[in-house]
Amino acid sequence: MKMTNTLMAIAAAAVLGFSTPAMASGGGAKLEHANIDVTDQEQIRRGLTVFTDVCMGCHSAKYITFRGLMDYPEIGLTREAVDELRGDKSLMSGLVSDLTVEDAVVSYGKAPPDLSLIVPGRRGGADYIYSLMIGYTHDPEGRVPDGSFNAVYPGNRIAMPDPLSWLDHEADETAELKQQAEDVSAFLAFIGDPHQNTRRSIGVWVMGFLFLLTFVLWRLKKEVWKDVKKH
Amino acid sequence: MLDKIMKTQLFAWVDKRTGAEAIIKSQLTEYPAPKNLNYMWNFGSLALLVLVLQIITGIFLVMYYKPSAEATLGGFTVAFDSVERIMRDVNFGWLIRYMHAVGASMFFVVVYLHIGRGMYYGSFKAPRELLWIVGVVILLIMQGAAFFGYLLPWGQMSFWGATVITNLFGAIPVVGELVSELLRGGFAVGDPTLNRFFSLHYLFPLLLVAIVGGHVHALHVVHSNNPEGIDLHKPEEMIPFHPYYTIKDAFGVAVFLLFYCYIVFFNPQMGGYFIEVDNYVPANNLQTPAHIAPVWYLTPWYTILRSFESKLLGVAAMGASLGILFLLPFLCKSAVRSARYRPMYQIMVIMFFVDVIILGYCGHTATTPVLKVVGQLATAYYFLFFVALPFLPKFEKTRPVPEGI
């Protein structure tokens, strides 16, 4: 199967000839904009499902505990849903994959990174994650086998096999897969900084107070200074 | 309100034992300040504010932070985990940590503006040479404190930044290796480095407080310069610090807080300038980041370092670029202080400010052949500025300085 893919890729490259401009070696394909909303509980929950069904096969998000899935209002799962999800794992355990590092190295050549901080930890953030999910394509130069070539990954050769089976998907699946990619990006953007919504909503009040304070102090300054003669 | 408090019996009791009234009068209510100070004179009090904020938030962070590079699950370390615990599990830990991280950058913003004001209006000139020199010491300690602090989260940029900087000391002839090993506590950056940097990161702010005290004392002996750069003698040119400048500084604080809180609450990473993207990746000594750059406030000096092919020359130039700041009061010989009345100096010093921004840009961006040359030219101007200063009075026709304000 892999062999045929490779042959097809080579054939495709031969047909296209060398007229295809070489990809920038940095992986530098332009990032697609991910339409995400980290306050949208529906989207974050859908993203959580993608995460637990697909990503968690290999990746962990150890800073998010099962307890957190109940406690963060942006996720707000019920105790029953969490119990079903965690199986015999502790409520305080992080979302840790069952795949060991040793097995991952054998299968994929490297340990899959923890995804707790993947959005703040990558240039482009959620847009990068979204673009990466839908960035699997055929190597225009035919060097990298299918499933290992990603247009946005630095250096293009990625160890992670196409998680959403984006490559060669049926045309009618495009919208659904893009939605999954967006949802999981939203989930990862949320867990990258789980207090971000609280922070922004408090911030509005803080700024409001400070504008008021600045105005009062400005008037006070004017009042105190009014008898100082300008030169 | 202050005078009401000073009339109470309790105050009289305290005053009898401390001389508080005399201090308040001489340093505050009767401390003479020029009446024409503009808003550029607000940044000193702002720097003091940020220093206090950094110390308070820092004390709370230390209650939860654990300086250990011991590995934990998933390629993380105890130190990295403890920072994430602060961000996620400690009540309002995210606020304290973002205040501290943003505060570090804002500290440099206000201090660089404070230094720029001193250079533009000639505040470093006699009789304020020592005031300036103490200020440069403060700058160096701040840079040290910031550098030590940046290692603590033990992210990729923490680790590789510390590796690059401690390696620099290796370029010093004879003692270089010894110095860099002492700094790191070993042959490479590791757990011992983290522990000693943590210790120094706690020590340096305490030093800062003491030296800032000296800076303020030195100021109160020689008194503030002013935008005209002239000595003021007439009483009608002066106003008491309190209430005039206390209220003006308070207004400045409110404006500063608008910027500071906006960043803390809405954009704490500041697009990777205040908290670098790579520092959300745990330190990995087997994987160098694609592009190592210090945080923005150190990048001008990083460019000077990179402008030389020889590592030793680069390190020497970087040291000289900071050391030469000590000599500024003695290099600048013109009798006129303010750039307002020094047409050539005015152009040179504004170009110097632009030059430092260019140096900063070059140090933050991945180097290209063009940027390298730009950086080298900017480095050349940085030193040329200081070297040209002693000769400036020979060519410069200063404008007449006003008699008073």
A111 touches chain B (CB under 8 A): yes
B202 touches chain A (CB under 8 A): no
Interface test with A, best of B97, B266, B284, B405 (most A CBs within 10 A): B266
CA atoms of A86 and B394, how far apart (whole Å)? 80
The two tokens of residue B389 are: 């200063």
3-state secondary structure of B283: coil
Query: In this predicted model, what pLDDT tens digit does every residue of A66-84 receive, in sequence order?
Result: 999 999 999 999 999 999 9
Residue B10 has pLDDT above 80, yes or no: yes
Query: In this predicted model, what pLDDT tens digit does every residue of A120-168 receive, in sequence order?
Result: 999 999 999 999 999 999 999 999 999 999 999 999 999 999 999 999 9
CB spacing of A200 vs B257 below 8 angstroms = no
In eight-state DSSP terms, residue A88 is T
B255 touches chain A (CB under 8 A): yes
pLDDT of residue B367: 85
Residue B1 banded pLDDT, cuts 50, 70, 90 = confident
Whole-Å CA distances, B84 to A96, B81, B99, B264? 16, 5, 15, 17
Residue A53 banded pLDDT, cuts 50, 70, 90 = very high
3-state secondary structure of B67: coil
Residue A40 has pLDDT above 80, yes or no: yes
CA atoms of B99 and B261, how far apart (whole Å)? 8
The CATH classification number of A2-194 equals 1.10.760.10
Residue B277 has pLDDT above 60, yes or no: yes
Question: Which of B55, B91, B88 lies closest to B207 in space, CA to CA?
Answer: B55
Query: In this predicted model, what pLDDT tens digit does every residue of B349-379 receive, in sequence order?
Result: 999 999 999 999 999 988 899 999 999 999 9
Of A120, A214, A228, the CB nearest to B254: A214
A200 touches chain B (CB under 8 A): yes
Structural element, H or E, at residue A49 = helix A41-53
Q: In sequence order, what are the residues at sequence separation of 6 or more whose Cβ sits closer than 8 angstroms to the Cβ of residue A160?
A: A58, A108, A112
pLDDT of residue A231: 53
The two tokens of residue A174 are: 């495009």
Q: Which residues of B touch A120 (CB under 8 A)?
A: 269, 277, 280
CA atoms of B274 and A81, how far apart (whole Å)? 39
3-state secondary structure of B389: helix
Q: Which residues of A touch B257 (CB under 8 A)?
A: 210, 213
- The amino acid at residue A124 is G
Query: In this predicted model, what pLDDT tens digit does every residue of B287-336 receive, in sequence order?
Result: 999 888 899 999 999 999 999 999 999 999 999 999 999 999 999 989 99
Query: In this predicted model, what pLDDT tens digit does every residue of B49-97 receive, in sequence order?
Result: 999 999 999 999 999 999 999 999 999 999 999 999 999 999 999 999 9
Summary mean pLDDT of chain B: 95
Q: Which residues of B touch A111 (CB under 8 A)?
A: 75
* Ranges assigned E (strand) in B58-134: 71-72, 76-77
CA atoms of B76 and B311, how far apart (whole Å)? 33
- The amino acid at residue B273 is Y
CA atoms of B88 and B308, how far apart (whole Å)? 44
CA atoms of A197 and A187, how far apart (whole Å)? 13
**CA–CA min distance A80, chain B (Å):** 23
- The amino acid at residue B235 is P
A54: exposed, middle or buried (Cβ count in 10 Å: 0-12, 13-18, 19+): middle
pLDDT of residue A18: 33
Interface test with A, best of B259, B281, B401, B405 (most A CBs within 10 A): B281
**CA–CA min distance B314, chain A (Å):** 29
CA atoms of B390 and B392, how far apart (whole Å)? 6
Q: Which residues of A touch B74 (CB under 8 A)?
A: 60, 62, 96, 114
Residue B285 banded pLDDT, cuts 50, 70, 90 = very high
**CA–CA min distance A133, chain B (Å):** 20
Q: Which residues of A touch B248 (CB under 8 A)?
A: 221, 225
Q: Which residues of B touch A199 (CB under 8 A)?
A: 94-95, 98, 265
CB spacing of A207 vs B261 below 8 angstroms = yes
CA atoms of B226 and A80, how far apart (whole Å)? 70
CA atoms of A190 and B129, how far apart (whole Å)? 52
Question: Which of A150, A145, A170, A176 lies closest to A162 in space, CA to CA?
Answer: A150
Domains of chain B with bracketed CATH: 37-289 (1.20.810.10), 293-405 (1.10.287.980)
Residue A27 banded pLDDT, cuts 50, 70, 90 = low
- Whether residue B243 is preceded by a cis peptide bond, meaning omega within 30 degrees of 0, is yes
Q: Which residues of B touch A100 (CB under 8 A)?
A: none
A194 touches chain B (CB under 8 A): yes
Percent of chain B with pLDDT over 90: 94
Q: In sequence order, what are the residues at sequence separation of 6 or more whose Cβ sits closer than 8 angstroms to the Cβ of residue B237?
A: B34, B35, B36, B404, B405
pLDDT of residue A10: 42
Instruction: Select the more confidently predicted residue: B365 or A218.
Output: A218
CB spacing of A193 vs B94 below 8 angstroms = yes
pLDDT of residue A230: 66
pLDDT of residue B325: 98
Query: In this predicted model, what pLDDT tens digit does every residue of B107-140 receive, in sequence order?
Result: 999 999 999 999 999 999 999 999 999 999 999 9
pLDDT of residue B291: 85
Q: Which residues of B touch A228 (CB under 8 A)?
A: 35, 239, 244
Q: How many CA atoms lie within 13 A of B225 on its CB side?
A: 26
Phi-psi region of B172 (alpha: psi -120 to 50; beta: other; left: phi over 0): beta
A210 touches chain B (CB under 8 A): yes
Residue B40 has pLDDT above 90, yes or no: yes
Residue A219 has pLDDT above 60, yes or no: yes
Domain coordinates in residue numbering, chain A: 2-194, 201-231
Average pLDDT for B256-279: 96
Query: In this predicted model, what pLDDT tens digit does every residue of A89-100 receive, in sequence order?
Result: 999 999 999 999
Residue of B nearest to A225 (CA): B244
3-state secondary structure of A60: coil
Interface test with B, best of A31, A56, A63, A226 (most B CBs within 10 A): A63
Instruction: Select the more confidently predicted residue: B379 or B404.
Output: B379
B175 touches chain A (CB under 8 A): no
pLDDT of residue B405: 86
Average pLDDT for B242-249: 96
Summary mean pLDDT of chain A: 89
- Whether residue B127 is preceded by a cis peptide bond, meaning omega within 30 degrees of 0, is yes
pLDDT of residue A28: 66
Q: In sequence order, what are the residues at sequence separation of 6 or more whose Cβ sits closer than 8 angstroms to the Cβ of residue A161?
A: A108, A147, A148
Whole-Å CA distances, B34 to A218, A230, B126, B221, B336? 20, 12, 17, 14, 18
pLDDT of residue A22: 33
Percent of chain A with pLDDT over 70: 87
pLDDT of residue A29: 78
pLDDT of residue B2: 83
Residue A4 has pLDDT above 80, yes or no: no
Residue of B nearest to A100 (CA): B74
pLDDT of residue B293: 87
